[in-house]
Structure 1
Amino acid sequence: MSIVVYSFLDDESEFFKLMEKKYNTKFTLHKHHLNIDNVKDAEGFDSVVFNARDAITSEVLDKLKEYGVKYMSTRSVGYDNIDIDYANKIGIKIANVPSYSPNSVSEFTILSLLSIVKNYNNLLINGYNRNYTRTGLVAKEIRNLNIGVIGTGRIGSLTVKHLKGFSPKNIFVYSRTEKEEIKQYAKYVSLDELYKNSDAIIYHIPYNKETENMICKDSINKMKKGVYIINVSRGGIVNNKDLLDGLKSGHIGGAALDVYTNEIEYVNKNIKDIVLKDEIIEELFKMDNVIITPHFAFYTDEALLNMVSISIDNIFEFKNTGKCVNQIKNI
């Protein structure tokens, strides 16, 4: 089995070594992202391991097929960067990591909520500048807020349970599928009711045709004035222009964004002296009531271990059985 790895991170090194030992093999590791410019690095390999920042287009897939690649595995839950339909059409099998550490994302969600309602980001910035005045930094208490959670899958359910410990006024949840277990912690309501009554809204949903631009002018107008928005799911669920307008008007009181549509421009990069092409993100960077983090919610030791180990296990399951429990079918 010959495996090439794209978008390799130094922090993943020890976990890839563990998998090399497990399968008595060696991986070829590349730090650059997989795209049409460097797809040739996959020539001579039958399997490719990559992540959510790699562009798995039909053009890339055609080249991989030409080079003899049979199996691919992404070290991520999301796969909107992959042309799955085309991969299935040409016979390249692709798997994902359906869950690597829901707890890490849920914990970070709570951190993001607390940071935005407590002005913690601004406290830190002021502290770095030796400014310890408190004027204009009045915080809110969770127990006085109604919290809305959209999506009660693995991560959303954990967030609801964690939130309960802070005793908010109410926890409102919306999901296409209701879980009986969650009803002891929160109240399932319609989406419009959640918008209308929530002081802060947390998004734990996948990105697809139904959720694209879910946070938009129409939905924002249904929300309470001063609402806080926490997005740790996918950047594509946000219409960035509408979000910015909502922040400027004051209808949105603040936002904590761990994901963004064009995040590849800055995630895992030092952009201190760089002006990004995306003018909206540049405006968001400058806003005191916006916290932007580099798609970091998942980034724990346990999550990295699971992402690497499951993605490699997927490849060997394909090889040994011709199928994989985590194979991505047509969207």
Structure 2
Amino acid sequence: MEILAFGVQSDERPLIQRAFAGHHDVRCLDVFLTEDTAPIAAGHEIISTSVNCGLGHRVLQTLAAGGTQMIAQRSTGFNNIDLDVAERLGMTAARVSYYSPYSVAEFAWTLGMAVNRRIVRAATRTRDFDFRLDGLMGRDMHGRTVGVVGTGKIGEAFTRIAHGFGMGLLGWDVAENPACLELGMEYVSKERLLAESDLITLHVPLMPETQHLVDAAALRAMKDDAILVNSSRGGLIDTAALVDQLREGRFTGVGLDVYEAEAGLFFLDKSMEAVEDDTLARLVTFPNVLVTSHQAYYTVDAVGQIIDTTLGNVLDYTAGRRSENVLVPRS
């Protein structure tokens, strides 16, 4: 059976082909699954998608009409898939429930430190042989307070890093993580976490309850010199409200690996095109903001685990088995 994989990065291609060898043929496409590209999947019972592929009702209907019955998503998040429509169409959908939490946690910490110590500005200056230190002053993280919003596997990994730097630990989640408690984390209300934290990092999934979790009121509640990091999902932050606060000169730094309107932008080369997204265009102009293109997960370790799990989901489907990764079961 040939499996069609959408949105495959060049670094991923050999890993996918190596993993699937001896099991199924796989054809890797660098284009993302959209309404325009969905007809390409005709005749393929199984397709694989990335988190920035859009699987709304029109795409799913096109896929079903072409004979696709199984969607193997190469990510933990699945807010890009209309699961209700998939179920009505009798399609199976599966995701990757778990991969290395260290990849995202380490990158989130890197974003925080990069904006704190003005690394990008410093590197740009030295390329021009400008070695002044004006405007590059950061601050020690030791002794300051981190607020971890979401203390699952990734939040726990981040907490361990912050603990190693000697930071005070505040956490907010629907359930307390015993491992974080052992590290000395104090679980508090969201309001207190926002008000007292010097560094705030987001590690909760995007769902209706967390859409714009960090809204205008939450941003106003933060310290003027706080650092905000988001390596989870762009929709957790009201970006327009964030831009408003940045225009007022607030925050030491903001590190964003995700953006709420990133679909159709991230993972693509738009360098020769006019940017139509005014909010993003404004966001990247602030000197205390660092935006990266949803790369926190992108390590050989994490991507390897994602691909291995995706292969396992495909093999489970063809064998009629069901695992914890299944979002919509086989009808």
Tell me the TM-score normalized by structure 2.
Answer: 0.95
What letter matches 2:176 in structure 1?
E
Partner of 2:166: 167
Q: Deviations for 1:95-144, whole angstroms, at most 9, x for unmatched residues?
A: 00112221111111111111111111211111122111001211100014
The CA distance in 2 between the partners of 1:139 and 1:57, in whole Å, is 44
Partner of 1:110: 109
Deviation at 1:20, TM superposition (A): 2.8
Deviation at 1:265, TM superposition (A): 4.3
In the alignment, does 2:7 pair up with 1:10? Answer: no
CA contact (8 A) 2:115 2:252 kept: no
1:143 counterpart SS class: coil
Quick check: 28-37 or 70-79, which moved more?
A: 28-37
Q: Deviations for 1:161-208, whole angstroms, at most 9, x for unmatched residues?
A: 11111002x111111110222112211111111011011100011111
The CA distance in 2 between the partners of 1:196 and 1:102, in whole Å, is 27
Partner of 1:82: 81
What letter matches 1:175 in structure 2?
D
CA contact (8 A) 1:207 1:236 kept: yes
In the alignment, does 2:264 pair up with 1:262? Answer: no
The CA distance in 1 between the partners of 2:120 and 2:260, in whole Å, is 22
2:314 counterpart SS class: helix
CA contact (8 A) 1:69 1:92 kept: yes
CA contact (8 A) 1:49 1:312 kept: no
CA contact (8 A) 1:98 1:326 kept: yes
2:146 counterpart SS class: strand
The CA distance in 1 between the partners of 2:193 and 2:174, in whole Å, is 14
Flag structure 2 segments of 5+ consecutive residues without an equivalent: none
The aligned runs of 1:1-331 (5 Å cut-off) are 1-23=1-23, 25-168=24-167, 170-185=168-183, 186-329=185-328
CA contact (8 A) 1:211 1:237 kept: yes
Deviation at 1:226, TM superposition (A): 1.7
The CA distance in 1 between the partners of 2:140 and 2:66, in whole Å, is 57
Q: Deviations for 1:33-60, whole angstroms, at most 9, x for unmatched residues?
A: 1112121111111111111111111111
**Once the two structures are aligned, what percentage of the paired residues are identical?**
25
What letter matches 2:269 in structure 1?
N
The CA distance in 2 between the partners of 1:227 and 1:190, in whole Å, is 18
1:328 counterpart SS class: strand
More helix by share: 1
What letter matches 2:130 in structure 1?
N
Relative to structure 1, the CA distance from residue 77 to residue 320 in structure 2 (aligned partners, 3 Å threshold; closer, same or farther) is same
CA contact (8 A) 1:247 1:254 kept: no
CA contact (8 A) 2:267 2:293 kept: yes
Flag structure 1 segments of 5+ consecutive residues without an equivalent: none
Quick check: 202-211 or 244-253, which moved more?
A: 244-253
CA contact (8 A) 1:126 1:132 kept: yes
Q: Deviations for 1:228-273, whole angstroms, at most 9, x for unmatched residues?
A: 1100010011111100111111233320000001223432333334
CA contact (8 A) 1:147 1:200 kept: yes
CA contact (8 A) 1:101 1:302 kept: yes
What letter matches 2:182 in structure 1?
Q
The CA distance in 2 between the partners of 1:179 and 1:108, in whole Å, is 21
Quick check: 273-282 or 202-211, which moved more?
A: 273-282
The CA distance in 2 between the partners of 1:39 and 1:221, in whole Å, is 42
| Count of residues in Structure 1 that have an aligned counterpart in Structure 2 | 328
What letter matches 2:74 in structure 1?
R
Tell me the TM-score normalized by structure 1.
Answer: 0.95
CA contact (8 A) 1:15 1:309 kept: no
CA contact (8 A) 2:125 2:131 kept: yes
Relative to structure 1, the CA distance from residue 165 to residue 309 in structure 2 (aligned partners, 3 Å threshold; closer, same or farther) is same
Deviation at 1:17, TM superposition (A): 2.1
1:251 counterpart SS class: coil
CA contact (8 A) 1:104 1:303 kept: yes
1:202 counterpart SS class: strand
Deviation at 1:70, TM superposition (A): 1.4
CA contact (8 A) 2:87 2:328 kept: yes
Relative to structure 1, the CA distance from residue 272 to residue 2 in structure 2 (aligned partners, 3 Å threshold; closer, same or farther) is closer
What letter matches 1:183 in structure 2?
L
1:27 counterpart SS class: strand
Q: Deviations for 1:15-41, whole angstroms, at most 9, x for unmatched residues?
A: 122223241x31122211111212111
The CA distance in 1 between the partners of 2:280 and 2:267, in whole Å, is 16
The CA distance in 2 between the partners of 1:220 and 1:45, in whole Å, is 46
What letter matches 2:107 in structure 1?
F
